[in-house]
């Protein structure tokens, strides 16, 4: 397997396992609302969802860091660095749940902002149509992050707006993973 395919496989596997585990964690959390609960509520150890959510975020981060380290040999420096920042952010979210507020917020910001800018930084290096998709996903993540931080939830609640930050970011990771696996063939 070529290095570019390894990067793709790591990003794809990390993103897919996270989405699946997120849905399971949401389903087993009593009374959980995707509109009114933060995503990170799933990681509070007083709920059994934490035993699924926290390891899943940690795995996502570890795989993203591994991908970023391999990517240094096959991708431009800036996108590789931004993927690394995003992965470190996810690891931090998996270690420091929302009850450890300041580190949690810093790491969550690294994960979200890092992935949004990573998507933008790759646009000129990707082929159409994925370069356009990358720009849209990166822009959506960053715009939703601004709306979330400024308290503008557009009627979908804090949890809904946080998902509007996270879903494009994780879709980008999965999509980039598939793109890179195919690029290596």
**CA angle in degrees (0–180, nearest 5) for 172-173-176:** 80
Helices 157-183 and 101-121 pack at an angle, to 10 degrees, of 40
User: What band does 109 get if pLDDT is binned at 50, 70 and 90?
Assistant: very high
Alpha carbon distance 95, 82 (integer Å): 20
The distance from CA 15 to its chain's CA centroid, rounded to whole angstroms, is 7
- What integer pLDDT is reported at residue 148 of this predicted model? 98
With a cut of 80, say whether residue 112 has pLDDT above it.
yes
With a cut of 80, say whether residue 119 has pLDDT above it.
yes
Alpha carbon distance 136, 116 (integer Å): 10
Alpha carbon distance 88, 80 (integer Å): 12
Residue 48 domain boundaries: 3-183
From residue 119, how far is each of 2, 72, 113, 132 by CA, in Å? Answer: 22, 16, 10, 10
Mean pLDDT over 44-49 rounds to 96
- What integer pLDDT is reported at residue 183 of this predicted model? 87
Mean pLDDT, the chain, whole residue set:
97
**Beta carbons within 10 angstroms of residue 59's beta carbon:** 18
Backbone angles phi, psi at 152, to 5 degrees: -95, 95
**What is the count of structural domains for the chain?**
1
Strand, helix or coil for residue 2? coil
Stated pTM of the model:
0.96
């Amino acid at each position: 397997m070529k290095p570019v395919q390894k990067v793709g496989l790591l990003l794809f596997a990390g993103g897919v396992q996270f989405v699946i585990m997120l849905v399971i964690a949401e389903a087993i959390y009593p009374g959980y609302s995707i509109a009114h609960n933060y995503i990170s509520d799933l990681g509070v150890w007083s709920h059994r969802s934490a035993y699924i959510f926290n390891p899943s975020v940690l795995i996502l981060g570890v795989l993203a860091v591994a991908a970023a380290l391999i990517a240094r040999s096959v991708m431009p420096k800036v996108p590789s660095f931004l993927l690394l920042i995003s992965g470190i952010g996810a690891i931090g979210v998996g270690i420091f749940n929302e009850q450890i507020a300041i580190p949690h917020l810093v790491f969550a910001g690294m994960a979200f902002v890092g992935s949004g800018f990573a998507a933008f930084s790759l646009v000129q290096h990707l082929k159409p149509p994925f370069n356009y998709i990358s720009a849209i996903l990166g822009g959506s993540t960053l715009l939703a992050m601004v709306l979330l931080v400024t308290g503008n939830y557009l009627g979908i609640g804090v949890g809904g707006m946080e998902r509007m930050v996270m879903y494009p970011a994780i879709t980008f990771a999965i999509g980039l993973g598939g793109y890179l696996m195919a690029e290596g063939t």
